[in-house]
Chains A and B, each alone.
Chain A
Amino acid sequence: MKRTGSQIIWETIINEGTDVVFGYPGGAIMPAYDALLDYHDRVHHVLVRHEENAALAADSYYRCTGKVGVCMATSGPGATNLVTGLANAMMDSSAVVAITGQVASHLVGSDAFQETDMTGISLPITKHNYLVTDLKELAAVLAEAFYIARSGRPGPVLVDICKDVQQQSIEYTPIKHVKVRGYKALRKPMNQDLQGLIGKAGALVDAAKRPVILAGQGIKHANAHDEFKVFVEESGIPVATTLLGIGVLDEDHPQNLRMMGMHGEAYVNNAIANADLLIALGMRFDDRVTGNLKMYAKNAKVIHVDIDPAEIGKNVPADVGICASVREVLPHLTEALDDSQGVAKYADWYGQINEWRGDTQAHDVLSFDLPTNMLIAPQVMRIIWEETGGQITVCTDVGQHQMFETQYFQHRRKNQLITSGGLGTMGFALPAAIGAKFGNPQEEVWAIAGDGGFQMSIPELQTVIQEGLNVKIAIINNSFLGMVRQWQELMHDRRYSSVNMTAPDFVKLAEAYRMKGLRASTIQEAREVVREARAHNGPVLIEFVVEQETNVFPMIQPGKALNDMTRRQITPEKKYMPASMGGGMDDLK
């Protein structure tokens, strides 16, 4: 059958199982948008208000569904606006296909109107990219793009398609089998002897007295939650998760210590720092989880399993490095476990960890029975968690509220937290919530953002309205760029530089967008507005006016070792005193 290039684009997207495309039309992609009208019964197009948010929404859609997220933009500025979103998908290994229009093939290289070298620009922030100047290549390239995006370690792929390629027609048969000569979804090192490595790993586990499992997003990508849980329970070893690994194991599970790293609780980081064996599964030892590498878990042997061979030994040398999908390795690792394995084997180790945990409870974890009705950011997270029964998808932005969410919201299952980890993209929450809601329409979706990040994504409120999406948006307003302010307080002698943030009247803003707007500035109001927002069948924007200078603790300051944390130092009498009430710096040692 004859198809135009534009039709091939939509048919490929539909064949790949993606039912929502986030995009924005313009000159060089207009043929594809024209063809969209004939496919709108099979694929829904969401008109975003800025292309960056199309890429971020597609990223979130992938994380929630496992289906490749697709975003679309025109050439030039449309395509360059995708850049931050693609970098986000690259850092967090999200399968996204970006389709961009390009000037007609005879104009490429001539600095034509809205021409940008998109394959050049996106080279380091995509897993792979293509410029299609010849229609004969289009079908194969698109099929390859989807295959490469979702296989192995997932990532974004950009396909830049010349306008004339979209317009021409060709005989088309859907491509069933993709073969890329060089690319192997999993390219194992040639001399890897899996059985031998499993044996070595088993021996290390057997010998360890203070092991910790470091669980990352790779477990989620491999869909290995069940295999992981079996390994965790059979081995009896405590688990710490990365930010993106949150949800690979119920945070209520007795072996789950919860999040590690820069703002992980002290007992988690202490456990890792004092471990004699780290079993890293589908994680990459990012600097935010290791602190100073020279002092990182000095006495620990390391077993590192990752699907990406370039991650093994990149930051932390592995005693046993296995390049494989965790799903393939975990059953073998479980099998290699000795019968003596189990929680009981590590009674002393858990005893030590629980001692640290008690210290954390006493010194870091905020108690909310304060003598005041003043609202602090962590409390908002707790209230949302309590009021929703923790049964929601949360899309957070970047900064203090993001870390408070990990500390004070207990995640029970996978995909409950959608957040920008590696790139730390402000403005992520709202487009992510849009992507999440399209991914799981039955799910209650909350976007939680600071006043800074939210002001980067305000235009998407209209996308929410136009699509009739029932998402709840919580703005944690401390009138500061909170995390930057915290660093300036702790590391720059409280010299606050460009962190004061004014904001519009968020309730009126919501009303201007014909959206329900609510505000809370006390604990009691916070509970009430969360209830009211949930009762309302439609989008709601809530502004939580919180204490301005609440810090996220513990904190590993840059260059410090994992267990060299700045702590909150709450005294039992004082519990918590915000800066504006004379606390803040005085709360620190």
Chain B
Amino acid sequence: MLIDRIEARKNPTQHTLVALVENKPGVLNRVASLFRRRNFNIDSLSVGMTDDPTVSRMTIVVDASKTSASLVERNLYKCVDVIEVLDLTNVPSVIREMALVKVNIADTHKRGEVKQIADMYEARVVDVASDSLMLEITGTEDKIDAALKILSDYGIKEVVRTGRIAMARR
């Protein structure tokens, strides 16, 4: 798990903010509109429910080379529906992204090779078709990038990636 911290340091221009917001219609629009209106550069934004049905959680990755993360944080606080903002950039935290990848397996003999690569990246095979394999990969952005790079040698038919989600260790 040390790898997470190393990754975070490797890429200091990316800041990870977590915003707890009211689980109401239109809140995502308010936050997205704020970023557009203030010309903030956002690398990714993911939203999901929490254990509290009235609260949603957003993980926002800010490109700090173009936008001050602290300014984003302070502007988020101006949104009435934002309950709390945490900057996880310098906080030991677990950061994850997930991808589904459909890999071409025209030659069925290659299936074993792809499975081996999947194992190396702790990816799971979630679906098999006659000419393709679907993998589920979870990890940091860099890990997924690396896996996709290798898998591209076999031909990637389709990829879907979630945004980053993050949680402080303590």
Contact = CB atoms under 8 A, between A and B. Distances in A.
Interface of A: 119-120, 123-124, 127-128, 148, 180-183, 187, 189, 308-310, 312-314
Nearest to A120: B29
Given A123-B33, A124-B37, A187 B77 contact: yes
Given A123-B30, A124-B37, A182 B83 contact: yes
A310 B21 contact: no
B80 A180 contact: yes
Contacts of B90: none
Interface string B1-40: 0000000000000000000011000100110010001000
8 contacts: A123-B33, A124-B33, A124-B37, A148-B80, A182-B79, A182-B81, A182-B84, A310-B77
A183 B75 contact: no
B145 to A, nearest CB: 33
B82 A310 contact: no
Nearest to A309: B74
Contacts of B79: 182
B78 A181 contact: no
B71 interface: yes
B75 to A, nearest CB: 5
A123 B78 contact: no
A483 to B, nearest CB: 27
A281 to B, nearest CB: 19
A189 B81 contact: no
A189 B74 contact: yes
A240 B154 CA distance: 68
A148 B80 CA distance: 9
A314 B80 contact: no
Given A120-B29, A182-B22, 14 more contacts: A148-B80, A181-B22, A181-B83, A182-B81, A182-B84, A183-B80, A308-B78, A309-B77, A309-B78, A310-B74, A310-B77, A310-B78, A312-B74, A313-B70
A376 B83 CA distance: 55
Contact of B71 (A124, A128, A314): A314
A128 B77 contact: no
Contacts of B78: 308-310
Interface of B: 21-22, 26, 29-30, 33, 37, 68, 70-71, 74-75, 77-84
A312 B70 CA distance: 11
A182 B21 contact: yes
B26 A182 contact: no
A312 B74 CA distance: 9
B76 to A, nearest CB: 9
A123 B83 contact: no
Nearest to A131: B26
A70 B21 CA distance: 29
A310 B30 contact: no
Contacts of B22: 181-182
A216 B83 CA distance: 29
Contacts of B83: 181-182
Nearest to A323: B74
A363 B81 CA distance: 53
Nearest to B21: A182
A61 B160 CA distance: 54
Nearest to B22: A182
B19 to A, nearest CB: 10
Contact of B82 (A127, A182, A313): A182
B80 A310 contact: no
A183 B81 CA distance: 7
A91 to B, nearest CB: 13
Nearest to B25: A131
Contacts of A189: 74
A181 B79 CA distance: 12
Nearest to B36: A124
Contacts of A309: 74, 77-78
A127 B82 CA distance: 13
The 10 closest A-B pairs by CB, nearest first: A182-B83, A309-B74, A310-B74, A128-B80, A183-B80, A310-B75, A124-B37, A187-B77, A182-B82, A123-B33
